[in-house]
Amino acid sequence: MEWLLTLFFVPYVATLLFFNWVEKKLSGRIIPESYEEGEELMGKKNFTDALEYFTEKISKSPKSAKLYRFRGKCHLGLNNFYSAIYDFEQSLIFDNTVPETYFLKGKALYKIQEYDKAFLEFDKSDWHFRGENAEVLRWRGMARYFINQKEEAIRDFTKAMNMGDEDAQHILLTKFKSLKI
């Protein structure tokens, strides 16, 4: 019986090792596709053309988290918040390790006044950024403010302000006038 197990197990392990070796050899030779044209259009705030560009690219690579994130940014720039949320969710399905995607999804949810859901996305983004992104902390603080977590919001704003975020400082000075900074 043991010889039967060995007969099937050894070729299986050998096959796995071979394909792992091939993948390592080929991974350095594959050049990732560049999306400079679409990114340039977004940089010029030409979101409509950028949206068409990324939609065309998605039709050729429907499992690209990066393309869905870029198209979501275009929708966000065009104030198509529900479409942006959809694209960010698709992006997270294919790669859930990019903190910017959580942050952008949170912004879209915040814009449609889904503050509790936005807070969760900002919190995930903050976790991935390891608490080192002042903008994420400020947005999370704003979401917390609207879901009545005022003390935690003040902590987020204060931490963002200590990291040099002037917008967080302005919010602290206007929304929380009684606070002594």
Q: Which residue has the higher pLDDT, 164 or 15?
A: 164
**What is the band of 2 on the pLDDT scale with cuts at 50, 70, 90?**
low
Q: Taking 80 as the threshold, does the pLDDT of residue 22 lie above it?
A: no
Q: Are 177 and 163 in contact (CB under 8 A)?
A: no
Q: Are 142 and 171 in contact (CB under 8 A)?
A: yes
Domains present along the chain, CATH in parentheses:
37-96 (1.25.40.10), 97-181 (1.25.40.10)
pLDDT tens-digit series, residues 25-77: 665 555 457 889 999 999 999 999 999 999 999 999 899 999 999 999 999 99
Q: How far apart are CA 136 and CA 123, in angstroms?
A: 8
pTM value is 0.79
**What is the band of 180 on the pLDDT scale with cuts at 50, 70, 90?**
very low
DSSP states along 121-165: HHHHHHHHHTT--HHHHHHHHHHHHHTT-HHHHHHHHHHHHHTT-
Distances (CA, A) of 153 to 62, 102, 137, 147: 38, 19, 9, 10
Range in 13-17, 157-161, 175-179 the model is least confident about:
175-179
Distance of CA 46 to the CA centre of its chain: 21
How many helices and strands (H and E) does the chain possess?
10, 0
Q: Which pLDDT score is estimated for 175?
A: 79
Q: Which pLDDT score is estimated for 121?
A: 97
SS3 96: coil
The b/e string for 98-107 (b: 16+ C-beta within 10 A; e otherwise) is bbbbbbbbbb
pLDDT tens-digit series, residues 92-122: 999 999 999 999 999 999 999 999 999 999 9
